[in-house]
Structure 1
Amino acid sequence: MKISIITATYNCAHLIEECLRSVAEQTAIDKIEHIIVDGGSTDKTLSTISQYPHVAKVYSAPDRGIYHAFNRGVELASGDIIYFLGADDSLYEKSCIETVVDAFECEEIDYLITKVRCFDEVSGEVWHVNTEMSDEANICHQGFFCRSSLFEKIGPFSECFQLCADSFFMKKAIARFHGIHIDTTSANFRQGGASSSSASRLLLKREANAVAQLLGETTPSKQVQLDKNVIDLKLLLDKVLSKKEPLAIYSGMKIGVFGTRQLSITIANALRQQGAIVACFLQTTQVSVNEITGVPVKSIEEAYELGLSLVINGIEGEHESTISKVLREKLEGMKVISWRDM
């Protein structure tokens, strides 16, 4: 069984080496067909690619956008499995493709979903998505592998969308065909691309709603939750700024902040400005990064060793109450509060 990994490129010589190296170092390299679909780069992208002999096919010509490039890649692919890896992303570990191919060989499935490690180099934020099979609203293509036959059954990516054609395709696949979720991480997904930039959020929301309507869904519940969280954050900011001495009560306290996303980082920065000692960020899962903004990242099990006075749950959204319950159970005798109660 062979897997075609399709990477779309355009003037990304400064980023693509990590992507290429992560594929070249795979233990299952003999089962990989790496296809590069380039939009007509004018920098050193193509010369950089030429230094990696594992690349099977390179196609370079102007295109109409990312989904046109993806569709070109599917047309060039000869693998049994199709996967899209961004030029600025990388495979998570050397055995991840071997794990995926083994799963397809053992299971009668049309698609497979893995976890994806997301990171933001500017903020230091790190988090995982695709953590649950039921979390369809948050599936990203860096963790989606499918049989090539699905493109014959569903059709190519729709170029009517600028940001959500992959989401539309994956949701149709999940609704109509059989797949599984495996507890492994396939890729490192770098934030800051077209779909993750702040300038694209309005378009992303509009296209997500369009996808939901085309599939006969209601407005995505995750977007409703996100909108609610924005309101909550504004209320928190108003509460903090209205105090005569914002967060002064935490001065000198040794605090752990649960979470590694932007809200947790913002909380930690605010606490440090008021003289609090932020000893660590906490995670329930295996720690995948050593530190963020100079603060170490630890597992919940390590919290007692640090002599913390307080743990603040920095998670917002549907998992917030569940995380608070887990923290109170695992950190019995330690004070735990929500960011909403600061």
Structure 2
Amino acid sequence: MIKISIITATYNSEKYVERTIRSVIEQTYSEIEFIIIDGYSKDRTVDIVNNYKENVDIFVSEPDEGIYDAFNKGIVHATGDIIYFLNSDDYLVSSTIIEDVMNSFDDDISLVYGNVQMIYEDKQAPRLYGREFTLDDFSKGYAPPHQAVFARKWLFDTYGLFNKNHRVVGDFERSAYFFKYELERTKYINKVIAAFHVGGISSNYTTRVIGMLEKEKVIKDLFQVERTLAEVEIRNNALYRHWLEKLLLEKKGITNCLHNACKRVAIFGSLQTADYLIQDLFLEGFEVPFIIDNFHESSIYKFDIPIIKEIELQQRLQQIDCIIVSLESSTGSEITSSLKEKFGHQVKVLWWKQLVEESIH
């Protein structure tokens, strides 16, 4: 039986760390080495961990240089063949998930990854995120979250530990290296591995921009591709500000301009901007018959709106007059163009950014 080392980095993590610990020690898989690396917490984190000292194989509490330094310490201590990182506010979704993942490894597989559940502090419904990723995805800045990734330890021995100089994207960089050089030995499993809280360092606006700049450099170094991720992030923020001003000052939504052309609007994508668009459409009196999302596991979105996949869209076009693409990145432009080519002769297709820009003029 293959041993797996689960590494959890903590720092002032008293709010959630016990749930994290329990999700690990309740696993049915027997060959688990549980390592907790604490950054010298000042709250009750150490006391909580000590309550489970019989279940924690290695516990270190000392000052560190951030989460990637803590991850590196965990790797150095690890004796398992497989390495997995579970943050201190995340948890494994079921008691059998490690067993399921470990059964997916064989001698030809170096890395296994799956899906995650995104948990929000503001009580909005959790979202599932995950799919099979390609090198082209990585070159555009997309990757599975580290909470979904299981890697053989020799990958770190071969390609190196985390770069401690990165504030935000050290996990993206390691995954990008592993995928680039071991793509044929990676395996995607369509299972939810862990739930993680949205709202960490990479969710703060300032650090998001820093992260985008870091990611641009990683992409350029690894794939020799120039990306403008930070510029897009800053531009998105400006568009959201204009959107908010229109709502607050004019009491109108950005979809107000669609009244002459549409009554029933579908939204492509199901992340945060989709929620904004739904509320905007409701404010303006539009119907939202369904959401289009190729990777959402549920058949019902919030507000009891059905979710369909793009492959079903042709059969449902009679229910809508318009499609708004809600994706924030440049992929949104590509998808808008693709949808226009396929369905533009039957329905109006717009990117949400076009609506904001039209509302400005």
What is the deviation of 1:11?
Answer: 0.9
Structure 1 residues not aligned, in runs of 5+? none
Structure 2 residues not aligned, in runs of 5+? 356-361
2:192 paired with 1:182: no
What is the deviation of 1:128?
Answer: 1.5
What is the deviation of 1:5?
Answer: 0.8
Partner of 2:155: 150
> 2:146, 2:171 within 8 Å by CA — same for their partners in 1?
yes
2:335 paired with 1:296: no
What is the deviation of 1:271?
Answer: 1.7
Q: Deviations over 1:214-234 (max 9, x none)?
A: 43622237x289459739957
> 2:3, 2:80 within 8 Å by CA — same for their partners in 1?
yes
Partner of 2:198: 191
Distance 1:238 1:17 in 2: 39
What is the deviation of 1:57?
Answer: 2.1
2:322 paired with 1:315: no
Partner of 1:59: 60
Select between 203-212 and 276-285 the one with higher mean Cα deviation.
276-285
Q: Deviations over 1:32-86 (max 9, x none)?
A: 2121111112222223234445332221111111111111111121111001111
Question: Could you say what secondary structure the match of 1:103 adopts?
Answer: coil
Partner of 1:46: 46
> 1:8, 1:66 within 8 Å by CA — same for their partners in 2?
yes
Residues 91/206 of structure 1: CA separation in 2 closer, same or farther (3 Å cut)? same
2:95 paired with 1:103: no
What is the deviation of 1:325?
Answer: 6.6
Distance 2:306 2:187 in 1: 27
Partner of 1:169: 174
> 2:299, 2:306 within 8 Å by CA — same for their partners in 1?
no
- Summarize the alignment of residues 1-342 of structure 1 with structure 2, pairs less than 5 Å apart: 1-28=2-29, 30-52=30-52, 53-104=54-105, 106-122=106-122, 124=124, 126-129=127-130, 131-134=132-135, 135-136=137-138, 137-139=141-143, 140-178=145-183, 179-184=185-190, 185-215=192-222, 217-220=224-227, 223=229, 226=232, 230=236, 233=239, 237=243, 246=253, 247-248=255-256, 256-278=266-288, 281=291, 283-288=293-298, 292=302, 295-296=303-304, 298-300=306-308, 312-316=323-327, 317-318=330-331, 322=335, 337-340=349-352
Q: TM-score, normalised by structure 1?
A: 0.79
What is the deviation of 1:102?
Answer: 1.4
> 1:7, 1:36 within 8 Å by CA — same for their partners in 2?
yes
Aligned-pair Cα RMSD in Å: 4.1
What is the deviation of 1:157?
Answer: 1.6
Select between 270-279 and 33-42 the one with higher mean Cα deviation.
270-279
Q: TM-score, normalised by structure 2?
A: 0.75
Distance 2:70 2:252 in 1: 54
Distance 1:289 1:194 in 2: 31
> 2:298, 2:307 within 8 Å by CA — same for their partners in 1?
no
> AA paired with 1:3?
I
> AA paired with 1:126?
R
Distance 2:68 2:252 in 1: 51
What is the deviation of 1:257?
Answer: 3.5
Residues 49/168 of structure 1: CA separation in 2 closer, same or farther (3 Å cut)? same
Q: Percent identity?
A: 27
Distance 1:43 1:322 in 2: 47
Count the aligned residue pairs: 335
What is the deviation of 1:147?
Answer: 1.0
What is the deviation of 1:117?
Answer: 3.2
What is the deviation of 1:187?
Answer: 2.2
Distance 1:291 1:73 in 2: 39
